[in-house]
Chain A
Amino acid sequence: MNTLMNIDPWSFLDDLLDTSSRAFRTVRARAAGRFPPVNVLLDDTAIIIDLELPGKTAKDVDLSLEPQAVVVSDRPAETKDAETGKAANTTPAWSRRLELPFRVDADKANAKFTNGILRIELPKADAPSVRKIAIAG
């Protein structure tokens, strides 16, 4: 399955997406590293991101949402330094930032693990309404 990573799974994105857009550029750049494989599904109203993480559960993964990007990273096991009592090993083993093709509604986002696959569903944010600006003077 890892061989998929070597054949540049992103090459066909160039045809689907405007290559000058920011969408997925980061993902493509990072695809060469050792990250969990990702599937991205799109329709007009939402984006679905699936990550293959067998054996992992909600407590093993950190998820944070930016207006137009999502960051998924491994949550290191909490180990305490025996001498200082401070948390040690806080560097995630992997972290992946996916830029999204549109702004998403953070309040309606949801993520769920099913049989070792993490599915993140991000509904598209309502288009910002056009605002008229009164010209003074």
Chain B
Amino acid sequence: MNTEEKFTVPAATLTERPEDYELKAMLPGIGKEDAELHMEGKTLTLKTHAKYQNPAGFKAVATEFEHVNYAMSVDLPEMADPATLSAKLENGVLTVIVKKRPETQAKKIDIL
């Protein structure tokens, strides 16, 4: 079965924190070498190219999940600074962190 052209949108969450945004996407079965991230303007695009094959000679008797490739694109929030983007793929979970632009951050103003 050719799974290369079959893409699934991964389960993902985008969290806003005081200084940055965190995007987490579930990519079970995907290693660092299989994933590709692109940044174009404000749009972050993910695509994976894993080539999974069942071990030779084995027959599937139960299939509750499929080994698929993932694709998604996310428009980063206006306040995000794409230059600070960092990404990590660990145990099948992609974590992207992007800082907010300093000028957009809330400033504490001292009252004189």
Contact = CB atoms under 8 A, between A and B. Distances in A.
A3 to B, nearest CB: 11
B48 to A, nearest CB: 10
Contact of B91 (A5, A13, A56): A56
Given A116-B91, A116-B92, A116-B93, A54 B28 contact: yes
Contacts of A125: none
A4 B91 contact: no
A40 B65 CA distance: 10
Nearest to B89: A115
Chief secondary structure at chain B's binding surface = loop
A38 B59 CA distance: 14
B97 interface: no
Contacts of A117: 28-29, 92
A17 B59 CA distance: 13
A33 interface: no
A114 B32 CA distance: 11
A41 B60 contact: yes
A115 B31 contact: yes
B65 A37 contact: yes
B18 interface: no
Chain A interface size range: 20 to 34
Interface string B12-35: 000000000000001111110000
A113 B60 contact: no
B2 interface: no
Contacts of A37: 64-65
A113 B31 CA distance: 12
Contact of A41 (B8, B54, B64): B54
Contact of A4 (B11, B58, B65, B93): B65
A70 interface: no
Interface string A47-79: 010101111110000000000000000000000
29 contacts: A1-B11, A16-B61, A37-B65, A38-B62, A39-B60, A39-B64, A40-B60, A41-B60, A41-B61, A43-B58, A43-B59, A46-B58, A48-B58, A50-B65, A52-B28, A52-B64, A52-B65, A54-B91, A54-B92, A54-B93, A55-B91, A114-B29, A114-B31, A115-B28, A115-B91, A116-B26, A116-B27, A116-B28, A116-B91
